[in-house]
Structures are given as structure tokens and as C-alpha cells.
Amino acid sequence: MNKFSLSLAASSLLLTQIFAADVALQGVEVSESADDGYRAKTSEVGKTNTPILEIPQTVNVVTQQQLKDKKPETLAESLQNVSGVSYGNTTGGIFDSIIKRGFGGGRDGSIMRNGVPASVMHSFNKTVESVEVLKGPASLLYGAQEPGGIINMVTKKPKYDFSNEIWAGIGNRNYWNAGFDTTGPIADSGFAYRFIFDAMQKDYWREFGEYKNVLFAPSLSYKGDDYRINLAYTHTRSTDPIDRGMYLVPSTGKLLPIDKKRRLDEPFNKLKTRLDAVDVNFEKNIGEDWLLRGAYAYSRSKHEYGHIRLMNVNLNTGVAARRNEAYDGFIHRTHAGSLTLNGYVQTGEIEHNLLFGIDAKEYYRYRPGGLRDTGAHLNINIYNPIYGRVGLPTVREPGIQYQKLRTIGFYAQDSINLTQNLIYSLGVRYEYYDQVARGTTSGPNTTDQQDGKFTWQTGLLYLLTPEWSVYANYAQSFSPQMAISGDDIGDIKPEEGKSIELGTKFQNDSITASAAVFNIDKKNIMRTVNSVSTPVGEARSRGFEFDFNGRVTQGLSVGASYAYTKTEVRKDSGAFAVLVGKPLEATPKHQASLFANYDFSHLGAKGLRIGGGARYFGSWYTYYMRTNLPAVPAGTGFKMDDAVVYDAFISYDTKIAGYETNFSFNVKNLTDKLYYTSSSTGTQANIIPIQPGYARQFMLTASVKF
């Protein structure tokens, strides 16, 4: 019997013992997630029915109303007002890459959909009802993870009341959007349906490129007396521009002296993706006091893209050398399942909120050898570019990218009400993983490893009043590592993280607020020097975060946040040793946001709301890590400017022919501010690609409910 089978057997025995226990419990109800405008009372991210106020860890929720007001089109946009969030290298925009408290990146497994791993491709769309962020190490509940935290997208479920909505929108850069959402019961069968369709298209704000997206999302629910089952399918087809962005010249410390809209690649720099996802989840009351939850998710994305990019620039002549590459048949596939049991046990005067769980995942990635084209004919003049002289390459390279990671973990957590106001929590998890990786079609695997890891987490929370709590938390994380090319160096130690967090939360009928200080240490960061990968790096993140959401006066709702994040490379080796003592890349020390809306209904202007706000994105560092410029030592840092970005909207609710109708006008990046979100230092170039944020965008939308 292998370790997977042993783990499943142990978990089944554990659940059997729970069902056999003689317990006195409080009852658990099958319910939908709830929010009140900008204020969320509960969250699914903790996998229990515990109110946010009583979770000894920072939890942020972007509510349905906030999403409606801001109209984000990406996951990164939806998180703009959450403290401590920045954006990692997205390889020209291919993947979602979210940094939490200084840690994280693309394909790190931290993005969930209904509590199980989502696709690594862009999976934020019109099916998302709210977005949750659990800060700090989350390995106890979610297995292999970075220590910064996880993100969970909660999707819309079928409803048992008929509801239909259609919408359409137009805007600058040839933006248009149209779709519908229909839901309701199927007779008296216990079934309910929902079908969401959405289509969008707009031009890219730089010289060329466009976004196209089509979404089909049918779902079905069945509700019994004490259980509910949901089945959903999502299909998207999308086209996105691949843009490495602007280019910083290390020898001058400045960006290329050209117009911000000028692209130096080619119109065929685009990503075409087909994404299919299936989600199944259920909730079942066991007696009056236990809730059994289960979920399964399957996602498969297949994409292809052309990708010509700058490698070297001669500022005197204006001639830039480029590399031409294309990829086809790039596949990411994920199977993920989760089973949890949550309930209450009374032992004497002490009450226990128990959580038991088991989850498993298989992640598969395969990319055939790229199509390459090299030579002087690829050159372009940055001051007078001429496009269309280069086509997609046709010569395939022999190498591949192949990775398969399987994990299975089981965990238990007990939140103990020592007194009416004092809650102590303790949880432990064991995770087994099996992974292989290689960069060739034949020969031995570069990575071939099977191992397991225990992690644990503990917290103490005290309710000063029924509305105000203080807490302390200690948590651990781990994440397996692999080398996809080079020599087989044997087992690689996983990255490990540990965190101490002290915080306070306040929640009443109007507002939710939280503040926390934290210290996260991460070790075994892998570096590759001379084709040898070694887990040698260490880093630290310390900081303070504040988040506020809710209704402050009649008519006025506010969302505000501030984060101070001080990061530092603590240990490194080889070429990366020069980074010791320097901040982590793409992590601003200061970030802040304020977004508010005012409802004029109580002043006689029924249905009118006006809102807006500002986002402060502090300065951050990128580093030149190559040794091909004698005048620029490897590890030289460059500070990217801070920026303030403004957003605004106006919304009007009315009735036309008896139907509820909404008109909204949104402006994103009101002043058309040029700001920078991330960089890419993994090129063999004498320049550093810098990703700019999106330019000003106008959106006029209308929706009708019937």
C-alpha cells in the first residue's frame, strides 16, 4: 500500500470516529455567503462557519457590491483595494501573478475557486460573486503554499427564485460588452439552474493588440432538506495581447526614451486560450450539529502564443535586437478534491469548534519545444519602428517543459472556547507530495521526488467586546520545488515559511475593520547557478496592515486600506549573493487605497450613487541580474516611481416599463497616470522589461432585471 492509500485510509478512519462520538452541538446550517454592501460578515476561506471576527488571522473580502461598483476585468483589478497585495511577473500578461505580503508569483497554486485550486490561466470572470484573501501561511488548510497567503474566488450559485439580468456596455478603445444571467427553480423538483453568458472586446491601450473574451457558464443545483449539491461548467475562449511592456536600460537607469504607447514587438504577440473548468461541491448536515462539505474541480487550459521581444538596445543607433519565439499546444491541467467535516463538541464547560479535512491535487503542465527564429533580420529601430517584416517562426527546438505534481493532505483543527471570550485554536496537517519534471522528451527526469511534510498552526483570540477582538497567531507553510532543466540533483528541499501575526478586528452592524502586524520568514529559496539548482535563499517580510469597509454615515460607504511592508533578502549565494540586505522585487514599502460611494436616496435623489477613490502604489525595486554589462554590476537595483491612480463612477437605479434598470458610468485611471506594476529579470538581455498599469478607460453600462 502506497502513501496515498495509507493517507486516505487514515482519514476515513478519523471521520468514522467522529461520527461515532457522543456529542452535544449547536447546529450548522447550509447557507449562502453573505455580505452587506462593502462589509462582509463571513468568509468561506477559513473552511468553517466561524465569523471573520473570531478568526485569528487576517481575512479580507471583496464583496459583490464592490465588484459591481468597480467593475474589475481581472483578478488583479479586483484586489486593488486590499492591503499588502502587489503584482509579480506575468510573462507579458499570460498568467495571474499576485504577491501577498511580499511572497507569491505566477503558477504558485495560491489562487482558489470555491476553496480548491483554480486554473493558472485567467479564471476571474462574470461568474465570480466575491473574492477572499487569507493572509499569512495557509498550508494548514490549503497544503503546499507560499507563506504570503491565498486568494479564493467564490462563484455565483443557482437561486430558487426566478431572476434574469441582461447587460451591455460601451467605452473608449472600441470597448463593448454584452451578456446575461438567468437563474431559477426547475418546477418543484428541488433543482435550480443558472446560466451566465458574457462577451467582451476592446483594443489594447498601447500601439496595437486587443482583448477578446467569450464566457459560457451553465450550472445546476439540487437542494434537499439538509443538503445541497452544485454542479458548474465554465468555458472561455480569449485573446490577450502579450506585452513585455516598457524597457529599463540599466546603463542609464532610465526607461527607453520613446513614447509610452510604442510597442517594439509585433502584432502577432498575442495569447489565444481555451479554458474548460468543471466544479462540483456539496454541503450536507449530519444531524443537527455537523456540516460535511465536499468539492471537486477540474480545469484544463490550452493556449498558444507568438512572442517576439527585445534583447539588446544600442541607444546611439537606435537598433534593437529581438528574439522571435512562439509556443503551441501549451497545456495546464488540474484535478483537485476536498472533503471537510465541521461541527461543535461540548466537553464539560468547554466548547470545541472542530474541523477535519482531506484534500488531493494533481497538477500537470506540458509545453512542447518552442518555435524559434534568430538573426539580424529581427532587428528594429526603436525611434522609427517598422512592423510586419517578421512572421511567426517555424523551426521547433528539441526541449520541452514537463511537470506533474500530486499531493494529498489531511488535517485537523480545534478552536476551543476556553471561556466565553477566550478562544484557542490549534491545527496540524500532513502533506505527501510526488513530483516529476524534465526538460527533454527522453532521458531521466530532472526532478523525481516523493516526500511529506508536517505543518502546524496555532492562535489565541480574545473578545474584548462582542464586536471587538484581539489575537495572536503562529503559522507555517511549505511548497515543493523542482528543477525542469539541467542535471538531476536529487531531492530538493521544499520552501518553508513561518509567521507570527498580532492583530485586532472590529465588526458591528455597519463596519468591518482589521489591523495587524506580522513577521514572515522564508527559507530554502531555490537559486539556479551554472545550471545547478540549490535551495539556499532566505527572505523576510515584516509589516503593518489596516483594512476598513462599511457604512460610516447614512448614504456613505467606504473601503480603505494601508500596508507597510518591509522586505529583505536575508541569505543568498552565487550571483544572487549581491541581493542580501535588499528589498524583494515588486513589493512597495507603502501602499494605500480609499474608495467610497454616496447614496443620495435619503436626500430625495432615489437610486443615484456617486463614488470614487484613489490608489497609492508606492515605489518598488527591480534588479539587473546579468553580468553582460561591465558598467552595471549584477544585483544593481533600480527604484520604480510611486504613483497615485484615481477611479470614479456614477450609478443610477430606476424602473423602465416596470423593470429594474441600472445605468453606470465608470472611469478607471481618471488622470491617465503612467504607473508600473511588475518587472521581469529572467531574460538574457541588457534591458529590463517593466510592466505598466492600464491607461484611462471609460465604461458606460446598462443592465435590466426581470
pLDDT tens for 454-470 read 999 999 999 999 999 99
- For 285-313, the pLDDT digits (tens) are 998 889 999 999 999 999 999 989 899 99
* C-alpha span between 245 and 262 (Å, rounded): 9
The pLDDT assigned to 32 comes to 39
Average pLDDT, the chain: 92
Q: What is the mean pLDDT of residues 329-352?
A: 96
Q: Are 292 and 310 in contact (CB under 8 A)?
A: no
Q: What is the mean pLDDT of residues 540-565?
A: 97
Closest by CA position to 24, among listed 286, 285, 351, 342: 351
Distances (CA, A) of 437 to 109, 366, 496: 17, 10, 21
User: What's this model's pTM, rounded to 2 decimal places?
Assistant: 0.93
- For 636-692, the pLDDT digits (tens) are 999 999 999 999 999 999 999 999 999 999 999 999 999 999 998 766 788 999 999
Q: Are 679 and 89 in contact (CB under 8 A)?
A: yes
- For 213-263, the pLDDT digits (tens) are 999 999 999 999 999 999 999 999 999 999 999 999 999 999 999 999 999
Q: Which residue has the higher pLDDT, 181 or 1?
A: 181
Cβ contacts of 22-25, under 8 Å, gap ≥ 24: 23/289, 23/343, 23/344, 23/345, 23/346, 24/289, 24/345, 24/346, 25/287, 25/288, 25/289, 25/290, 25/343, 25/344, 25/345, 25/346
Q: Which residue has the higher pLDDT, 36 or 42?
A: 42
The pLDDT assigned to 13 comes to 37
- Cα 129 to chain centroid, rounded: 15
* C-alpha span between 230 and 510 (Å, rounded): 32
- pLDDT at 419 exceeding the cut of 90: yes
Other CB atoms within 10 Å distance of the CB of residue 379 = 15
- pLDDT at 5 exceeding the cut of 60: no
* C-alpha span between 195 and 218 (Å, rounded): 4
The pLDDT assigned to 528 comes to 65
The pLDDT assigned to 287 comes to 87
* C-alpha span between 241 and 73 (Å, rounded): 15
- pLDDT at 23 exceeding the cut of 50: no
Closest by CA position to 531, among listed 635, 439, 396, 400: 439
The pLDDT assigned to 573 comes to 84
Q: Are 593 and 548 in contact (CB under 8 A)?
A: no
Question: In which band, very low, low, confident or very high, does the pLDDT at 383 lie, cut at 50, 70 and 90?
Answer: very high
List the grid coordinates of 324.
Answer: 522571435
Torsion of CA 544, 550, 552, 557, to 10 degrees: 110
The pLDDT assigned to 308 comes to 92
Of 83-87, 299-303, 308-312, 475-479, minimum mean pLDDT range: 308-312
Give exposure, 644-656, as e/b (b: 16+ Cβ within 10 Å): ebbbbbebbbeee
- Cα 43 to chain centroid, rounded: 16
Closest by CA position to 142, among listed 551, 388, 477, 595: 477
